[in-house]
Chain A
Amino acid sequence: MIHSLFLINSSGDIFLEKHWKSVVSRSVCDYFFEAQERATEAENVPPVIPTPHHYLLSVYRHKIFFVAVIQTEVPPLFVIEFLHRVVDTFQDYFGVTNVGDQLPTGQLSVVPWRRTGVKYTNNEAYFDVIEEIDAIIDKSGSTVTAEIQGVIDACVKLTGMPDLTLSFMNPRLLDDVSFHPCVRFKRWESERILSFIPPDGNFRLLSYHVSAQNLVAIPVYVKHSISFRDSSSLGRFEITVGPKQTMGKAIEGVTVASQMPRGVLNMSLTPSQGTHTFDPVTKMLSWDVGKINPQKLPSLKGTMSLQAGASKPDENPTINLQFKIQQLAISGLKVNRLDMYGEKYKPFKGIKYMTKAGRFQVRT
């Protein structure tokens, strides 16, 4: 399927190549470079590029293009998904302490996702329920669209071949789910219980979507006033971030990012807390707010200097928001219990909840 693979860094150098069949010359990447030039931005490079004799399928991650060379019909997602897995593996392997000494050993196991003979002195299983709110908020503050996507990430370090079941207090909340291959699907269908022999280490057990009938609580609001005037070369800018429906939990790790119109030359702003930067080249404004204190709402205000003589920009910038709320799953999802079968020892179990902003945009 995949003939060859080229890794191309941000400066356009092919720094690694691998050929599974006969060698394909590097020059095939020229077609890719052409497309890259046309696209101007890296993320606009088409993932599928036809060339006279090959097809180039690529993914872009960590500022590196992974370009697969294909010769015949293949489901493009097959290649794309595979490339993403390759990147994941690289990340794992090269990740924390540079390069592992040992070459990976090929292992065959009865349960394909779990190696045999796992041993730990401390047996522990941790599960993180992480929910992300994707939302578009319009100018007036009302919600255009909002939905909750969640995942359960696990870190399981258990000896032997444990068989786990995890149940929820309110499984009906989950509208759409996708599983790690270890999860027994029929068990979920009939009993709404996650039953599985876990892989060893870190893995994503479940991704889910919360049913659309439940109204999504929006934990923050943004008050904004951004104005350009036709006559003046100065514009006014002011935004305030405040808590909305937070179930009594603190909102932390707030950041605000906004792509300002091209006409903005510079910004002179004062934050009530946190730090901010404006890049006059990319026109990107970012403000690292930190924690929101409900008594004293964080704000950022000041002026924008605009290109003299140019007409005022048509559009107002959108504001992209990031935040975190610990110990809260905004959908209200709750894990009921976690049981282990198949092994004798008593494992240590832990569940953590967190809510984050996903793709959270405020139009101004």
Chain B
Amino acid sequence: MSSNSFAYNEQSAGGEATELGQEATSTISPSGAFGLFSSDLKKNEDLKQMLESNKDSAKLDAMKRIVGMIAKGKNASELFPAVVKNVASKNIEIKKLVYVYLVRYAEEQQDLALLSISTFQRALKDPNQLIRASALRVLSSIRVPIIVPIMMLAIKEASADLSPYVRKNAAHAIQKLYSLDPDQKEMLIEVIEKLLKDKSTLVAGSVVMAFEEVCPDRIDLIHKNYRKLCNLLVDVEEWGQVVIIHMLTRYARTQFVSPWKEGDGLEDNEKNFYESDDEQKEKADKRKAYAMDPDHRLLIRNTKPLLQSRNAAVVMAVAQLYWHIAPKSETGVISKSLVRLLRSNREVQYIVLQNIATMSIQRKGMFEPYLKSFYVRSTDPTMIKTLKLEILTNLANEANISTLLREFQTYVKSQDKQFAAATIQTIGRCATNISEVTDTCLNGLVCLLSNRDEIVVAESVVVIKKLLQMQPAQHGEIIKHMAKLLDSITVPVARASILWLIGENCERVPKIAPDVLRKTAKSFTSEDDLVKLQILNLGAKLYLTNSKQTKLLTQYILNLGKYDQNYDIRDRTRFIRQLIVPNEKSGALSKYAKKIFLAQKPAPLLESPFKDRDHFQLGTLSHTLNTKATGYLELSNWPEVAPDPSVRNVEVIELAKEWTPAGKAKKENSVKKFYSESEEEEDSSDSSSDSESGSGSESGELGESGEERDSSEDSSEDSSSGQDSESESESGVQSKRAAKKNSKPKGKSGCEDGEKENEKSKTSESSNAESSSIEESSSDSESESDSESEAESRRVAKVSTPVFVPMKSHVLLHRMSGKGLAASYYFPRQPCIFGDKMVSVQITLNNTTDQKIENIHIGEKKLPMGMQMHVFNPVDSLEPEGSITVSMGIDFCDSTQTASFQLCTKDDCFSVSIQPPVGELLLPVAMSEKDFKKEQGMLTGMNETSAIIVAAPQNFTPSVILQKVVNVANVGAVPSGQDNIQRFAAKTVHSGSLMLVTVELKEGSTAQLIINTEKTVIGSVLLRELKPVLSQG
């Protein structure tokens, strides 16, 4: 202990000095910050006391100081026991800070940390979603392996939480648990799979992030969610957008065929001249055959608006998506946005310029119009300057080179010499790339040889050497000039380059070369190693071509080299001597010495360092570093043949399941989105909805937006227009499709309904009402939204959402009697999209045979008078073990009469029938208690039926009654001011007559059940059905 605290104090004393001047920005009171050894000890004592005090303010103060210590990197671990006691504090501020502390130190103090776990477990059940979320966050951040099972459980539960915010945090926790214990992978993938289905924009980004960390190779989990993700994308928060776009880029490269036409990659579009006409025609045919997968198009289309994002990372993500998966002709749109980012901070510029550099090599055309945006300013940091220069070089062509060279002249004069040197390299590259200006550039560079700055001269020499190497014939003059430079220039690379040049061309400058050798022989010992090697080379070459004049000089140099300190030079000396000086021991090689030394050497290629860098996905860390970073996910090549696109089709059944609460407490709550839709029922066949401007009715849309906009009444007016047109068009497409297909439920409104329903059941249970703003505001707004839909539908009563949807399905056709075809139906309790007066029915068809069943459709109908039926679209074929859910609508005319019809396959017809339970002939209605009483007052006498029920008291709690009633009938709960009375309201589907149900508790475990309705027949049937249910135990 004592040694511990000693270490701590020493460390903190060291830390104190560094925090000078930072106090102003710290949350921590600076008093006594410069404590000496002793006062520091005291300070901790005093913190402990504060933490044990019973005043929250003292505790809060202490926690602030402690968190401050952590932030400064000081050791505060000895306070652990004192801090952890406060984990259950009622004060939320203290709680938050204790959480911060725990996350930092739990790993070091595992045993003590375990004391806090039960608090978190309790907090995970807190009615406040913020507390649930933060408890999960801390629990998953405590890296104590022993609690892995607890974390796993918590994540599972949170992933089914009503609050999307908590579910988002569940997705975050997945990654943390995975890094703590990779063995949990399989279970975590299950959670990821579930969360991927989530329709909340809040969750989407986080779960995809988890997916990328835990199981990026499980592309199969994405299929069914692909279209949803594309459609949600605009409304996901910025950071989520980045992650999703990167993931979808990889996805697209595995699932779609290349949209790039052959020869497209060539910037110059040079047609192969010798290509025969036939071949060309063949190619053209291939081209014609390509049709982009609608899903591929969907992704490209839906990401485009994000180029306008204020977030540089989002813009870059879209840019790389276009680069990697869009047809080449469409990639152009990204240039403008990328250029826009160049106005941003230097770090953003740095990354963006790197990516532009890579792109501009392959596709000059994209950035040529923005040439001037890459002009260098003297205030740019050097790294930015050199990147801009790189891009300018890539963009240089015959047309703009003269302008560029003028610009380069300014750069060469820059005070930033490193940049000036880079400019010279650039001029060299332009000279080799564009033959028209080679001579101009060379002359310019030669002029630079008389520059005062040595770095500039040296760089010029090096570049000239490379240029001359490419066309050695006619440049004797320049070589002579360079030979003179040798007297003045000291930079080793430049001296070495000159020597090499003279050596290579020694026969063209026969007078100068030996003289240069003479001079350098004199200075040999004081030269840089690099230069020494070149002197040796020069000597060797001269010895071979002009031994008369240089034999002795060369031998002198070889002798110097023999005793050089550097072994490389000694080595080289020995090697050269053996080769060029013939003696009896020298082998066969010396015969070829001249060939070896004076061989034609290939000219160096002056290439961009960004060439081929796009084999890394653009926008990634790996691309920036030009090496594969840890965890880099390879972008696959386009498949030759696209994998089955139908894997992305989403069956209606999934939708139905989504709306339906799985159990009493765990209900999926979808979130309020601002503009987009979470529609999942994109249909298989025709999602090619290229038409951006959707028309068609939007009635569902209006109601929804009214609800989404917080409670303001006026919002209805503008929400119709203010509703982002993205979703308008989508819904337009959707409704058109629905109209065409006539076989789908109204996905959108259905989904929203499900949401409201959840809220309502929750608030009416009111046992654990959310105290958070999000839930409240939405349930507040509910009534408004309802009033709007009422106004629209011009009905007496406004339809609300079902409180509960029983999953009970009824057998329509048993597999034994259906020759392997089984069919069941259930009532989704959604307003029917096929007609106002119809009841929605969902039919699930199962193929239990081992053969395809083809052409499943409805044949002859035998319906009672007035009854109508909207059949589902024929199912072309159903695979063995396959199952499909289809929707139909039946107008039962508010009666419980049976609808009989034939269910046919290609070969057989089976007679089946549906008889609706009376409770399914209703649609729930929202009304106030006052309205209820008023309506009830008008439906007395003949219109009222009642019964007395006897049951145990535990069956008469409000929640039990609610549950039982809504299980039987699709009615809406009416808020009640009296504890002993519960009211429910609904209307009949066909005629819209009200159906009012009242349960009034009496003394002695009895209750009165009253039903008021004009439709006395179904009223009394309903009474008959409800009575036994309510009295049951």
Which residues from B are CB-within-8-Å of A22? 107, 143
Given contacts A22-B143, A108-B165, A112-B237, contact A342 B712 (CB under 8 A): yes
Write the nearest CB–CB distance from A364 to chain B, whole angstroms: 11
Given contacts A341-B717, A361-B377, contact A13 B18 (CB under 8 A): yes
Cross-chain contact A81 with B71 (CB below 8 angstroms): no
Tell me if B523 is interfacial: C-beta within 8 Å of chain A: no
- Within A1-31, the residues touching B (CB, 8 Å) are 1, 9, 13-23, 26
Tell me if A223 is interfacial: C-beta within 8 Å of chain B: no
Which residues from B are CB-within-8-Å of A189? 305, 725
Tell me if A302 is interfacial: C-beta within 8 Å of chain B: no
Tell me if B155 is interfacial: C-beta within 8 Å of chain A: no
A184 to B27, CA, bound (A): 38
- Within B708-746, the residues touching A (CB, 8 Å) are 708-712, 714-715, 717-718, 721-722, 724-726, 728-729
A267 to B27, CA, bound (A): 46
Cross-chain contact B452 with A314 (CB below 8 angstroms): yes
Cross-chain contact B621 with A75 (CB below 8 angstroms): yes
A113 to B627, CA, bound (A): 38
Tell me if B415 is interfacial: C-beta within 8 Å of chain A: yes
Contact pick for A81, options B107, B237, B308, B312, CB 8 Å: B312
Cross-chain contact B383 with A44 (CB below 8 angstroms): yes
Contact pick for A108, options B107, B242, B711, B772, CB 8 Å: B772
Which residues from A are CB-within-8-Å of B234? 185
Cross-chain contact B778 with A110 (CB below 8 angstroms): yes
A283 to B436, CA, bound (A): 41
Tell me if B633 is interfacial: C-beta within 8 Å of chain A: yes
Tell me if A179 is interfacial: C-beta within 8 Å of chain B: yes
Cross-chain contact B18 with A14 (CB below 8 angstroms): yes
Cross-chain contact B351 with A76 (CB below 8 angstroms): yes
Cross-chain contact A72 with B630 (CB below 8 angstroms): yes
Contact pick for A74, options B379, B452, B621, CB 8 Å: B621
Cross-chain contact A80 with B72 (CB below 8 angstroms): no
Contact pick for B629, options A14, A72, A103, A209, CB 8 Å: A72
Tell me if B1005 is interfacial: C-beta within 8 Å of chain A: no
Write the nearest CB–CB distance from B204 to chain A, whole angstroms: 13
Binds A, one of B337-345, B641-649, B1020-1028: B337-345
Tell me if A48 is interfacial: C-beta within 8 Å of chain B: yes
Cross-chain contact B622 with A261 (CB below 8 angstroms): no
Cross-chain contact A77 with B316 (CB below 8 angstroms): yes
Which residues from B are CB-within-8-Å of A9? 21-22
Tell me if B414 is interfacial: C-beta within 8 Å of chain A: yes
Write the nearest CB–CB distance from B619 to chain A, whole angstroms: 5
Which residues from A are CB-within-8-Å of B709? 110, 161, 163, 197, 342
Tell me if A156 is interfacial: C-beta within 8 Å of chain B: no
Tell me if B552 is interfacial: C-beta within 8 Å of chain A: no
Cross-chain contact A315 with B239 (CB below 8 angstroms): no
Which residues from A are CB-within-8-Å of B708? 110
Write the nearest CB–CB distance from B507 to chain A, whole angstroms: 37
Contact pick for B728, options A76, A109, A175, A186, CB 8 Å: A186
Given contacts A136-B375, A149-B343, A187-B724, contact A178 B104 (CB under 8 A): no
- Within A294-319, the residues touching B (CB, 8 Å) are 311, 314-318
Write the nearest CB–CB distance from B33 to chain A, whole angstroms: 12
Which residues from A are CB-within-8-Å of B179? 21
Cross-chain contact B631 with A72 (CB below 8 angstroms): yes
Contact pick for B712, options A13, A72, A161, CB 8 Å: A161
Tell me if B400 is interfacial: C-beta within 8 Å of chain A: no
Given contacts A110-B672, A187-B725, A359-B377, contact A78 B242 (CB under 8 A): yes
Tell me if B413 is interfacial: C-beta within 8 Å of chain A: yes
Given contacts A77-B312, A178-B310, A190-B725, contact A311 B452 (CB under 8 A): yes
Cross-chain contact B337 with A176 (CB below 8 angstroms): yes
Cβ-closest chain A residue relative to B19 = A15
Cross-chain contact A195 with B348 (CB below 8 angstroms): no
* 21 A-B pairs whose Cβ atoms sit less than 8 Å apart in the complex: A9-B21, A17-B73, A48-B624, A60-B346, A73-B631, A75-B317, A76-B620, A78-B242, A82-B239, A109-B777, A112-B674, A116-B777, A161-B710, A163-B718, A178-B340, A181-B310, A207-B343, A315-B415, A341-B722, A342-B714, A343-B712
Give 11 A-B pairs besides A136-B375, A190-B693 with Cβ atoms closer than 8 angstroms: A18-B71, A19-B104, A22-B143, A58-B347, A81-B312, A110-B672, A144-B375, A181-B309, A184-B724, A187-B721, A341-B717
